[in-house]
Structure 1
Amino acid sequence: MLYLTGPLWVVELVPPKGRSILAGIIGLFGVVGYILAAYVGVGFFYYKGSGSAQWRAPLALGCFPPVFFLAICPWLPESPRWLLAQDRNDEAWDIVRTLHTSTDDPLHDYATAEFYQMTKQHELEANVSSSWVEVFRRPSYRKRAAIVFMLPIILYSTGNLVITTYAASIVAGIGYNPGQSLNLLAGTYLAAIVGNLISLTYVDKVPRNIIMSIGTIVCSIVLSIETALVAVFLGTTNTDSLAAAAAFLFLFLFTFNLFIEGPSYYYASEVFPTHLLHSQPPVARDCSHGL
């Protein structure tokens, strides 16, 4: 549920100017979660205490993030667009004004202008059907739905899920022991987060289709080289080639997060019209889960 509603909530809440950057931060903190989980695993791998703490403690630590999220939920702002759709205009205005509060704009001129646009947009969309049927009725909407449907299939067919899921097995097969494998796996996530951070610096300066096209091509090249190295040198004593195979795991996740991770969260939201925005997260995420 959070996987579907989180990106939609961010897109509806943030101002258009910083939408892609703030939506890209979702992927950034997703990698932060991977890093924390990986290094918790590394730490408890070396834990030598008795009993079952080696596997119980990581599971217990995994309870803290959702508990923290539940604790702060009452203070999270609701989407102003959703409040407008429920005729709760005063609450929507309070949130917009609070989000744009600045000492440089004491009269809230920017917030007033944005809220006016949101109100007029809602009035326009109130007379337009927002049902799922509308997505398939109009040719232009069908085209957008096809783009959203194919986007995760194309992006996640680059192999990132396979690399993420089986990286430990791949590294172990290359010849590293379990402790080294866990450390290398955690290191790949550090490389990934560097890619995320760099992507935030150019995401609004380069066209989305160019970013994703470059990412798909580069990921395909890196994955092809990784596959060749594993196929030829796995089980041999050629340490240089095996080390290169491990290095290309780092390079792949860095490349994927540099070009592809961010657009996978916000591009679909930018393609769909506002009144059908609720339809795109299930379409896009169901496709990625189906992979």
Structure 2
Amino acid sequence: MDTKLFFVYLCAIFSAFGGFLFGYDIGVISGVLTMPHFRERFPSTPAVEGSIVSSFLAGCFVGALMSGYSADRFGRRFSILGGSIIFAVGSVLQATSATFAQLYIGRIVSGISIGILSMMVPLYQSEISPKEIRGRLVSLQQFSITIGIAVSFWIDYGSAKIDSPAQWQIPLGVQCIPAVLLAIGTTILPFSPRWLLDHDRDDEALIVLSKLRANGDKNDPIVIEEFNEIKETVRFERELGAKSYLELVKRGPENIRKRVILGVAIQAFQQLTGMNAIMYYAPQIFTSAGLADNSATLLATGINGIVNMVATIPAILWIDTWGRRPTLISGGTLMGTFMLIIGIILAVHGTVYYDSAIGKHSLHLNSTASSYSVIVLIYLFVASFAYSWGPGGWIYPAEIFPLRIRGKALSLTTASNWLFNFIIGQFVPILLDSITWGTYIIFGVLGLTMAVSIFLFFPETKGKTLEEMDSIFGDVKSALPTHTEAKRGITDGGTSPSNEPDEIKKTEQARDTETKENIPSVGITFPG
């Protein structure tokens, strides 16, 4: 790893704790719903189970919509701090629940936090990252989600052996620990340099950018070039349009409306893969695959979490080499294929029966071979999601929007993710109860549809700075300054910006002798 980039890696890794909270809460509820002491305290039907899961998701939807204003008004850093504090409160409410009302309130409060963090963390990571490794650093969000899921599965597995209400209280309560750590850790996170420049805090932005790119060297040509490119974009966007939600529905030279449609679509698609259905209801799905003992299903679920985590690593290392389109197309094709095969096996070799003990229909596979086949296919499906749509669904929207409306646009796209997540959480248990194996066929068809959609409608974004996205999605080339003008920080009037930091003016001559070969390659080794 280039030592100049140590600080940007550190910030991206620590901010990704928000993803850990996200993943933990997604994963923990699947095991808790099957625990005897939880079912004794909170008797449930498929519809009630769906409401317990989806109440969290409803909070996420609200939190995501709130996050746009928070990102622009208070900044990415303080919004992450606020989200972590809210999550700690929600986890305590869940762990101490004595009634359905308190449980739902705790789930909603935690959901609001995750709605904020799920938008804010990839936004922050994308804005502090060099273009060559932006995909890698934003992928850390998804990697942390998978770690959170895996940890929650194994905590569920361990606590299931406790014969008291602590069986479910411990898994729900320990999630406040990483939330507190994230809140403390925000003290080391700098403000986003792009947010600082957008708020005319130029000197602070230069200091932060120099720490992120050059170990604090404000005279480094790479720092100077990127500073001027961002600043020129800020100036241009202020002339082009206002910071309002109305901008999101306008086409204009930047084609923002198309970007919003693509951002909303890719986040909705991420949920329609069926991945979170697997995560929310994994123990029940493994029961359908032939694992009758609760301990065995939780063990299989724990292994599922490890598969998810390990399979995300290739995306961290190589998504900036592969590109976004090939990754998403291949992932959608594989996921759709595996889901269709699972559905066919369950239809051919499964017997549907009504389980009076839990009050819903289940599947029983008639052979050991078919049971093991379904379990392996579920693991393959999870691995296919983990390297592709898991990270890709967060990377793509965080890259494509202009700075002035990036916070608002991402709040909308993230809200669409949680809206469809809510729908999945609400209806999957009902579908599993009513059409059983048909649920997997639906997700299989959707996976293949997503692959085709990416091929037809989504342009490649790898290797471009956030300021260069207009050249991909819009038609603003004639209005933008030339590369030389942007590099020198020249305005339309031919003079340097009046509030340009002195360090930039002193190094203009040095800038002209530097080339882009100074930029680190994508072959940086991931730390640790």
Establish whether residue 156 from structure 1 lines up as the match of residue 274 from structure 2.
no
Moved more, 228-237 or 197-206: 228-237
Change (3 A) 1:244 1:83: same
Whether contact under 8 Å (1:233, 1:242) holds in the other structure is no
Whether contact under 8 Å (1:269, 1:280) holds in the other structure is no
Whether contact under 8 Å (1:155, 1:216) holds in the other structure is no
- State the aligned residue count: 288
The TM-score, its normalising length taken from structure 2, stands at 0.52
Aligned to 1:172: 287
**Counterpart of 2:273 in 1: which secondary structure?**
coil
* Residues 117-136 of structure 1: CA deviation (Å, up to 9, x unaligned): 22222222222223221221
Q: Distance in 2 between matches of 1:244 and 1:63?
A: 37
Q: What does 1:245-256 correspond to in 2, within 5 Å? A: 245-256=374-385
Aligned to 2:229: 117
Whether contact under 8 Å (2:288, 2:365) holds in the other structure is no
Q: Distance in 1 between matches of 2:188 and 2:399?
A: 27
Code of the aligned partner of 2:333:
I
Higher share of residues assigned helix: 1
Shift of 1:107: 4.7
Which of the numbers 51, 54, 68 marks the counterpart of 2:181?
68
Whether contact under 8 Å (1:31, 1:193) holds in the other structure is yes
Q: What does 1:44-83 correspond to in 2, within 5 Å? A: 44-47=159-162, 51-83=164-196
* Residues 85-137 of structure 1: CA deviation (Å, up to 9, x unaligned): 2221121111111112349x795332222222222222222222232212212
Shift of 1:34: 0.5
Which of the numbers 368, 371, 393 marks the counterpart of 1:239?
368
Aligned to 2:158: 43
Q: Distance in 2 between matches of 1:110 and 1:172?
A: 55
Whether contact under 8 Å (2:270, 2:389) holds in the other structure is yes
In structure 2, list runs of 5 or more residues that go unmatched: 1-115, 351-363, 421-528
Aligned to 2:387: 258
Whether contact under 8 Å (2:315, 2:388) holds in the other structure is yes
Q: Distance in 2 between matches of 1:109 and 1:285?
A: 35
Over the aligned positions, Cα root-mean-square deviation in angstroms equals 1.9
Q: Distance in 1 between matches of 2:402 and 2:269?
A: 22
Aligned to 2:200: 87
* Residues 138-196 of structure 1: CA deviation (Å, up to 9, x unaligned): 25222222111211223322211211112110111222111111111111111112221
Q: Distance in 2 between matches of 1:101 and 1:153?
A: 38
Identity of paired residues, percent?
Answer: 23
**Stretches (4+) displaced over 3 A:** none
Establish whether residue 225 from structure 1 lines up as the match of residue 341 from structure 2.
yes
Q: Distance in 2 between matches of 1:290 and 1:23?
A: 22
* Residues 235-255 of structure 1: CA deviation (Å, up to 9, x unaligned): 244001111111111111100
Q: Distance in 2 between matches of 1:280 and 1:145?
A: 7
Structure number with greater Rg is 2
Q: Distance in 1 between matches of 2:346 and 2:282?
A: 12
Moved more, 184-193 or 280-289: 280-289
In structure 1, list runs of 5 or more residues that go unmatched: none
* Residues 210-243 of structure 1: CA deviation (Å, up to 9, x unaligned): 2212211111000111112223333244001111
Establish whether residue 189 from structure 1 lines up as the match of residue 318 from structure 2.
no
The TM-score, its normalising length taken from structure 1, stands at 0.92
